[in-house]
Structures are given as structure tokens and as C-alpha cells.
């Protein structure tokens, strides 16, 4: 596998309701969930809450600070969490914490593929304000467990499915960390093509890291496969604009007046372009650095 992946780079050797341990192997940190379970948030002032939950060393929530309106918005969301949901989040945090070996493996594999050191990357499991499933920075991955698990995590029969979903997100977001570290861009105002390639490449590379199927795109794959020519042609007409609708971040997207689409079909389009680009002789380095999205597209569709 490693030999094959190095060729893709371009032939060069580039350099259950219980509290769970907060950190293991410095890979996954669920201390923010542990702290929430142990704290009566309603008794904290806004300043105390901010210090305990949103400081830089408070378990990853600081990385989501721009995703909710105010400190009090998050505090209010926390005070309204039901006992059943809190139990679900605890179990989900436990499942995430158990994935330390998998996350370590992802980091090792991706470093072997790209030469980008990732040993210092931490994945945080947090409870956000219900608006972010996952995100990444140059130094970390953050998973919003309230979005990824919800009350279904309280059902032990669902734990295998939740584990698979969490692995998928860990792999996908770790690719984004790698993209951050590889890029030389200073302008992060991406057009539709660039944004689709960023997300589609993260999905594509995640499939190389995982031992099991990548399931996050199942609905998009089922919709996209029979309509691939139409979807790719329609996408190409606006791909150089900064209008992401209906391909990304659009509620109730429609391909046309007669065909509704799953959300974020731009991920699927980006995956198609990334995989075709590699099949046609492109390199993984070029995909990850994304210095010339048009050249990637041209080779992908030839």
C-alpha cells in the first residue's frame, strides 16, 4: 500500500455514561465532555464559563468560537441538554476516545504518503452549539459530538455505526490539516471548483487511510452515480464563480426545477474529479496543495 501511495505522490520519498480518560497518546482529547458532565453550568457566570470551556487549553472548544453567536449562546445550549442526550454524548466520547490507535495510524499513514509531520495533531471531541459536525485547523481536528451522535449514541446496538462515522470524520479532517500545512496560498477565498476539490480530495484521501468503507457520502454516491454526466456538466458551468449553491452549504438544494439533490453534492463532484485526476496520471501532492484547480480539472475530465 505504501509503495502505491508514494507513487501517487509523484515517486518521491517526501519527508457507557462513564467518564473516560481525557487524553491517551496525546491523540484524542475528550476533556471538554468530561468537564461538562461534571459541571453545573447554570451556576457559572459568563466569565467563569468562558474560562472553563473556551480558553485555549480547555479541550478544543476555542476552535469553534466563531461558530456560535456568543459565550452565553453556548452556555444556554449547555443548560438545555437533556439527561438522555448527555448520556448519549458521554457514550459517544467514550467511543471516540477508543479510536486513539486508529487516529495514530491515520497520522502515520498520511505522513508516509505526504511527508507532512502530523504527530502533534490532536482530535478533540466537544459539545458545540448544534451547528458544526467537524472542522480542522493547522493543528487540530474538532468533532461536534452533538451533531455526529445525538441520542442514537445511547443505543448500544448503534455503537459500531457511530465508530465507523467517527473514523470517517477523523480521516477526512486530518486530510484538511495536511492541506493547511502543505499550502503556500495566502488567499483562502476559494471558488466553487476549488472548494469542491478541497472537500472531495479530503474524502478521496480518507478512503486510502481507512480499512473499512467510507460511508459519509453514501447518499450522495447513490444519487450521483446514475446522473454523473448531467451533474458534472451542470457543475462546470458555474465552477469558476464564488456562488456555491446548490453544490455546497445550501439547504434543500435542487439540480433543476424537477430534481432535488442531497446536500453538499460538491463533495461528490470533488471526489469524482480527484479520483479521475489520479487515474489520469496526476499526483496526490498537486491535489493536496491545490495550486492550480483548473489544471486538475482539465486532466480529470480528459
What pLDDT, in 10s, does the model give residues 7-60? 344 333 223 333 444 443 459 999 999 999 999 999 999 999 999 999 888 888
Write the pLDDT tens digit of every residue in 78-117. 999 999 899 989 999 999 999 999 999 999 999 999 999 9
Residues 55 and 122 in one domain: yes
Residues 164 and 248 in one domain: no
Residue with the larger pLDDT of the pair 208 and 24 = 208
Q: Domain range spanning residue 137?
A: 2-182
Range picked from 26-35, 84-93, 190-199, 256-265 for highest mean pLDDT: 190-199
Q: Give the sign of the dihedral formed by CA 215, CA 176, CA 154, CA 71.
A: negative
Residues 197 and 170 in one domain: no
- Helices 192-209, 265-279: axis angle to 10 degrees equals 70
112 within domain boundaries: yes
Summarize the confidence of residues 233-257 as an average pLDDT.
95
**Are the beta carbons of 28 and 97 closer than 8 angstroms?**
yes
Residues 123 and 237 in one domain: no
Residues 172 and 202 in one domain: no
At residue 186, the 3 state secondary structure works out as coil
Residues 293 and 158 in one domain: no
The count of domains in the chain is 2
Summarize the confidence of residues 253-278 as an average pLDDT.
96
pLDDT at residue 212 tops 50: yes
187 within domain boundaries: no
Residues 171 and 138 in one domain: yes
What percentage of residues in the chain have a pLDDT greater than 90?
Answer: 74
Residues 155 and 233 in one domain: no
Residues 68 and 205 in one domain: no
| Pairing assessment for the beta strands 122-126 and 28-29 based on DSSP bridges | parallel
Q: Could you tell me the pTM of the whole model?
A: 0.88
Contacts of residue 184, Cβ cutoff 8 Å, sequence gap at least 6: 289, 291
Residues 65 and 212 in one domain: no
Residues 233 and 174 in one domain: no
Write the pLDDT tens digit of every residue in 108-160. 999 999 999 999 999 999 998 787 899 999 999 999 999 998 754 445 456 77
Rounded distance between C-alpha atoms, residue 153 and residue 147, angstroms? 11
Q: How far is CA 275 from CA 112, 210, 213, 283, 297, in A?
A: 20, 16, 16, 10, 11
Residues 221 and 72 in one domain: no
Rounded distance between C-alpha atoms, residue 94 and residue 27, angstroms? 14
Amino acid at each position: 500500500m505504501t509503495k502505491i501511495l508514494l507513487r501517487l505522490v509523484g515517486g518521491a520519498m517526501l519527508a457507557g455514561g462513564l467518564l473516560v480518560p481525557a487524553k491517551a497518546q496525546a491523540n484524542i482529547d475528550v476533556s471538554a465532555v468530561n468537564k461538562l458532565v461534571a459541571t453545573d453550568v447554570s451556576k457559572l457566570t459568563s466569565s467563569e464559563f468562558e474560562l472553563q470551556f473556551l480558553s485555549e487549553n480547555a479541550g478544543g472548544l476555542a476552535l469553534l468560537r466563531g461558530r456560535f453567536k456568543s459565550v452565553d449562546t453556548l452556555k444556554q445550549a449547555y443548560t438545555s441538554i437533556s439527561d438522555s442526550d448527555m448520556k448519549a454524548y458521554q457514550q459517544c466520547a467514550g467511543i471516540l476516545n477508543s479510536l486513539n490507535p486508529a487516529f495514530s495510524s491515520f497520522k502515520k499513514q498520511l505522513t508516509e504518503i505526504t511527508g507532512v509531520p502530523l504527530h502533534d495533531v490532536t482530535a478533540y471531541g466537544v459539545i458545540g452549539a448544534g451547528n458544526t459536525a467537524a472542522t480542522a485547523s493547522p493543528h487540530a481536528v474538532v468533532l461536534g459530538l452533538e451533531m455526529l451522535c445525538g441520542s442514537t449514541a445511547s443505543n448500544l446496538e448503534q455503537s459500531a455505526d457511530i465508530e465507523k462515522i467517527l473514523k470517517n470524520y477523523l480521516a477526512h479532517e486530518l486530510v484538511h490539516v495536511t492541506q493547511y500545512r502543505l499550502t503556500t496560498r495566502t488567499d483562502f477565498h476559494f471558488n466553487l471548483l476549488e472548494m469542491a476539490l478541497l472537500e472531495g480530495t479530503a474524502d478521496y484521501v480518507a478512503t486510502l487511510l481507512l480499512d473499512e468503507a467510507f460511508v459519509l457520502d453514501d447518499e450522495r454516491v447513490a444519487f450521483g452515480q446514475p446522473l454523473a454526466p448531467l451533474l458534472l456538466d451542470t457543475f462546470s458551468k458555474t465552477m469558476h464563480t464564488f456562488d456555491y449553491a446548490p453544490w455546497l452549504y445550501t439547504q434543500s438544494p435542487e439540480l433543476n426545477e424537477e430534481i432535488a439533490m442531497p446536500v453538499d453534492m460538491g463533495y461528490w463532484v470533488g471526489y469524482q474529479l480527484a479520483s479521475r485526476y489520479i487515474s489520469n496520471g496526476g499526483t496526490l501532492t498537486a491535489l493536496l496543495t491545490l495550486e492550480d484547480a483548473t489544471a486538475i480539472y482539465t486532466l480529470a475530465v480528459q
